[in-house]
């Protein structure tokens, strides 16, 4: 209870008198109190700037001239140094650079914005206000006139933009900005002409057997290897497939007895070198056939002369018609028709003329081939393949024409006007990859390439260097590259390339393009373009928004027909109707197409080989065309 006793004994008036102290500017002073130490005082007062001139303070008076007790008690001490240093809070304004033409107009210098406690009103009236502009907070930095940096020579705008030097360029922009130099090359005049030959036809027409026997007769396969093929085919119960197995090396292809992928081979005649592209004939492998036909300069259309087989392949649903139309739409204008298996009908002249008459009207009128050579052959027996059969052969009783290889040699040479164009190498297949090195096969569609060239792989624009290059004609029988192989290869050649660079090995696939850098040389991928198309014999018309698959050289990508611009005449190319609602069979039109991904394609004015494409839907070719311009 002692605490209650203490409360009762408190003298309230005495306690109030003890608390009767005054606080001036945060400092309580009493007569008996000692001043604060300098260490404690610096946290309460902000000391004036060193060397600042202080004005003596005056003691304020009352209106009657007397001092109050409290004022007199406070001003007993020396408070001359207790000045509010506003200059410490506000940095002094920087001197602006005076123009030369305004040197004579000097403004009156301002006094420092500081005042003292107890200063008279007279003195206070002469004090100028502080430069408040220095308190403004802005997003831009003050202009530095004494800096030599080009970035500071212009006034800083209120909206700050990032420096473009710190923005990273995309690989495509870097490829466009590159200035690669190369020396123009010319094809040697004594070089042997080469031609890419696509072999097409309906399934079981005997394409692989015919070309395998042709390779054997021309020395492309030695007797030892041929004996091995015959033994393997006999053990498998397929003795008649021995020559076909020269090209069909896959186990599944041999078991099924059909070609599934493009088989590549080469042979030479007395006149020129041939690169064979044996295409599959089954309708399920039409995309692979398109890949082979897109690389061809000429073609062999193989026909099965067996009774009933020709009609099956040529009628609706057969692949003979579709293959011929695809060849023409992909730019192949030179064709030789090999009427195969004529020995199964005893070399009948009537059967030969019947097939020739049925094909002539279709190939000339519908497909658009100018000249066609018809050659009767037997791929299994090798009759009339390399040379004419013996004199007593029943074929010579009514046929006086050339053999198959002679008919191929009679084809005109391909033009080489593309040697001077921009480099375009279409990647057909990636053979092997190790680390930062990749070996691939491709066709030079335009320009030339040599060892050491620096090129770009589109569409990713990966920079690479050509480490080695060779063609199939440069290899010996053992598979090694000949020492006399040329280091420069031109348009139209099928080549093997070894490239190196800082790229992922799996980033290069078939359908990619190798080209040089720069605005004039680089191929810029696109996903929107206008094209002139020819509609095939379709059952459902083409509408705006029709979905299809686009095939061009070695690529396959989904696309949409976004706009039907106009329907055109096939012969005069005149506009029949603008903005048609539908496109029916056998019509021609100008349309706009958008692909799901950017692809390596360009207008026909730059490279015809990369401008041709076909459209397929529901396992049926619905149209083919050429790129008019990119959008």
* Domain ranges across the chain: 21-100+107-135, 194-409, 419-474+486-515, 526-630
pLDDT at 528: 97
pLDDT at 407 over 90: yes
What is 194-409's CATH topology? Answer: Rossmann fold (3.40.50)
Average pLDDT over residues 296-301: 94
pLDDT at 306 over 50: yes
pLDDT in tens, 142-201: 555 555 555 554 444 445 555 555 467 898 999 998 887 778 888 877 777 889 999 999
**Please, is 86 exposed, middle or buried when counting C-beta atoms within 10 Å of its C-beta (0-12, 13-18, 19+)?**
middle
Per the prediction, the chain carries an average pLDDT of 80
The dihedral through the CA atoms of 340, 346, 350, 354 has a sign that is negative
pLDDT at 3: 58
Tokens of 496: 């093997």
Confidence of residue 83 (pLDDT cuts 50, 70, 90): very low
In CATH terms, are 194-409 and 526-630 the same topology? no
pLDDT at 145: 52
Tokens of 152: 């500071």
Q: What pTM value is reported for the model?
A: 0.71
Per-position DSSP letters for 325-377, written without gaps between them: HHHHHTT--EEEEEEE-GGGGTS-HHHHHHHHHHHHHIIIIII--S-EEEEE-
Q: So what CATH class is 526-630?
A: mainly beta
Average pLDDT over residues 205-228: 92
pLDDT at 168: 78
Largest CA distance in the chain: 156
State how far the Cα of 338 lies from the Cα of 360, in Å rounded to an integer.
13
What is 419-474+486-515's CATH topology? Answer: Elongation Factor Tu (Ef-tu); domain 3 (2.40.30)
Evaluate the omega torsion of the peptide bond into residue 459 and state whether it is cis, within 30 degrees of 0.
Answer: yes
Half-sphere exposure of 617 (CA within 13 A, CB side): 20
pLDDT in tens, 528-583: 999 999 999 898 999 999 999 999 999 999 999 999 999 998 877 789 999 999 99
pLDDT at 628 over 50: yes
């Amino acid at each position: 209870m002692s605490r209650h006793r203490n409360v009762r004994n408190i003298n309230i008036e005495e306690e109030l008198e003890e608390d009767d102290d005054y606080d001036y500017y945060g400092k309580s002073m009493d007569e008996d109190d000692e001043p604060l130490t300098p260490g404690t005082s610096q946290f309460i007062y902000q000391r004036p700037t060193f060397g600042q001139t202080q004005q003596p303070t005056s003691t304020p008076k009352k209106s009657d001239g007397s001092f109050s007790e409290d004022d007199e008690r406070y001003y007993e001490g020396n408070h001359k140094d207790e000045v509010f240093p506003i200059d410490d809070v506000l940095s002094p304004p920087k001197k602006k650079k005076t123009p030369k033409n305004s040197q004579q107009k000097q403004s009156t210098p301002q006094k420092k914005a500081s005042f003292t406690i107890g200063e008279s009103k007279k003195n206070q009236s002469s004090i100028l206000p502080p430069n408040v502009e220095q308190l403004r907070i802005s997003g831009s930095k003050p202009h530095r006139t004494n800096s030599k940096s080009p970035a500071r020579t212009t006034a800083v705008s209120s909206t700050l933009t990032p420096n473009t030097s710190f923005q990273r360029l995309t690989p495509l922009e870097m490829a466009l900005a590159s200035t690669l130099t190369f020396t123009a090359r010319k094809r040697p005049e004594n070089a042997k002409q080469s031609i890419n030959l696509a072999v097409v036809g309906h399934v079981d027409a005997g394409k692989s057997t015919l070309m395998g026997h042709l390779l054997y007769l021309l020395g492309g396969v030695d007797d030892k290897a041929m004996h091995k093929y015959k033994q393997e085919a006999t053990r498998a119960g397929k003795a008649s497939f021995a020559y076909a197995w020269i090209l069909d090396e896959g186990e599944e292809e041999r078991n099924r007895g059909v070609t599934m992928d493009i088989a590549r081979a080469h042979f030479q005649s007395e006149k020129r070198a041939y690169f064979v592209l044996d295409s599959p004939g089954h309708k399920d492998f039409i995309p692979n056939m398109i890949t082979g036909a897109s690389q061809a300069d000429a073609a062999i259309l193989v026909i099965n002369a067996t009774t009933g087989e020709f009609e099956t392949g040529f009628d609706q649903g057969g692949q003979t018609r579709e293959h011929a139309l695809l060849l023409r739409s992909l730019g192949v204008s030179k064709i030789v028709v090999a009427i195969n298996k004529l020995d199964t009908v005893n070399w009948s002249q009537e059967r030969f003329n019947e097939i020739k008459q049925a094909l002539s009207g279709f190939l000339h009128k519908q497909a658009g081939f100018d000249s066609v050579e018809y050659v009767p052959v037997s791929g299994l027996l090798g009759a009339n393949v390399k040379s004419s059969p013996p004199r007593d052969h029943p074929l010579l009783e009514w046929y006086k024409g050339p053999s198959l290889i002679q008919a191929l040699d009679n084809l005109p040479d391909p033009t080489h006007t593309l040697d001077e164009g921009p480099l375009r190498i279409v990647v057909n297949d990636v053979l092997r990859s190790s680390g930062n090195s990749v070996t691939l096969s491709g066709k030079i569609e335009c320009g030339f390439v040599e060892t050491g060239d620096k090129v770009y792989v589109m569409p990713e624009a990966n920079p690479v260097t050509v480490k080695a290059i060779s063609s199939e004609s440069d290899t010996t029988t053992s598979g090694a590259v000949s020492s006399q192989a040329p280091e420069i290869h031109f348009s139209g050649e099928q080549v093997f390339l070894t490239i190196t660079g800082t790229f992922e090995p799996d980033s290069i696939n078939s359908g990619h393009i190798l080209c040089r850098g720069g605005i004039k040389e680089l191929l810029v991928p696109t996903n929107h373009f206008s094209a002139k198309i020819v509609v095939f014999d379709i059952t459902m018309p083409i509408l705006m928004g029709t979905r299809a698959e686009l095939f061009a050289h070695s690529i396959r990508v989904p696309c949409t027909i976004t706009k039907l611009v106009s329907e055109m005449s096939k012969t005069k190319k005149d506009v029949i109707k603008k903005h048609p609602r539908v496109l029916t069979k056998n019509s021609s039109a100008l349309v706009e197409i958008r692909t799901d991904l950017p692809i390596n394609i360009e207008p026909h004015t730059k490279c015809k080989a990369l401008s041709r494409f076909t459209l397929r839907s529901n396992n049926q070719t619905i149209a083919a065309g050429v790129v008019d311009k990119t959008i």
